[in-house]
Amino acid sequence: MGNMLEIRWHGRGGQGAKTASLLLAEAAFDTGKFIQGFPEYGPERMGAPITAYNRISDERCPIHSNIYEPDFVVVVDETLIDVVDVTAGLKETGGIIINTSKAPEEVMHKLKGYKGGVYTIDAREISMATLGRYFPNTPMLAAVVKVANIMDEETLITSMEKSFHHKFANKPHVIAPNMEALKKSLTEVKGA
């Protein structure tokens, strides 16, 4: 498949990794791409490790399996680095995006010699400042779009505003803070 981007998300139940992967799929679909967004669950309980996946392509994708050699990995919970091999199969032409207050060079030693791009974003600080609660999924969604250059920022903002109006139809007061978190996150990703 030419021009296909594969992303693997690592998070814990309740952190919104699955939701973020589905929102990313929806935003990419809005740009005319073919998409897949799906989770993989272990024991379904709050706090248990979960994995979610995205495929984004210019062509229809006939592959329907987990992603074993992703272009990008998103780590929603930094503690998973010590529990899960988050760099397994990760292409060195891509990168890893980690939710942490640390700089990329401070987490590299935990990445088993990975030589691709390492990016960090403090999704906790951003979500607390904008939402008043810890919801890392919106900042991590913005970070992966920025790092992987999936779409331009304005397209993401427009698509997410539409999605948030639908998703939060019964809670309209959370739309503006989520949009603020999204925009702030686009400017706070560190790494290269």
Q: Looking at this protein, which amino acid is placed at residue 180? A: E
pLDDT digits (tens, 9 = 90+) for 155-186: 999 999 999 999 898 999 999 999 999 999 99
Contact status, residue 133 vs residue 124, Cβ threshold 8 Å: no
pLDDT of residue 64: 87
What integer best gives the mean pLDDT of the chain?
93
pLDDT of residue 2: 58
Domain ranges of the chain: 5-191
pLDDT tier for residue 43 given thresholds of 50, 70 and 90:
low
pLDDT tier for residue 40 given thresholds of 50, 70 and 90:
confident
User: What would be the CATH architecture of the domain defined by 5-191?
Assistant: 3-Layer(aba) Sandwich (3.40)
Question: Model's pTM, two decimal places?
Answer: 0.94
Token couple for 41: 């669950």
pLDDT of residue 186: 97
pLDDT tier for residue 44 given thresholds of 50, 70 and 90:
low
pLDDT of residue 13: 86
pLDDT digits (tens, 9 = 90+) for 71-80: 999 999 999 9
Residue 190 has pLDDT above 70, yes or no: yes
Rounded Cα distance between 18 and 2, Å, is 26
How many CB atoms lie under 10 A from the CB of residue 175?
Answer: 17
pLDDT of residue 42: 66
Angstrom CA distances, 44 to 12, 22, 37, 47, 125, stand at 10, 18, 18, 9, 27
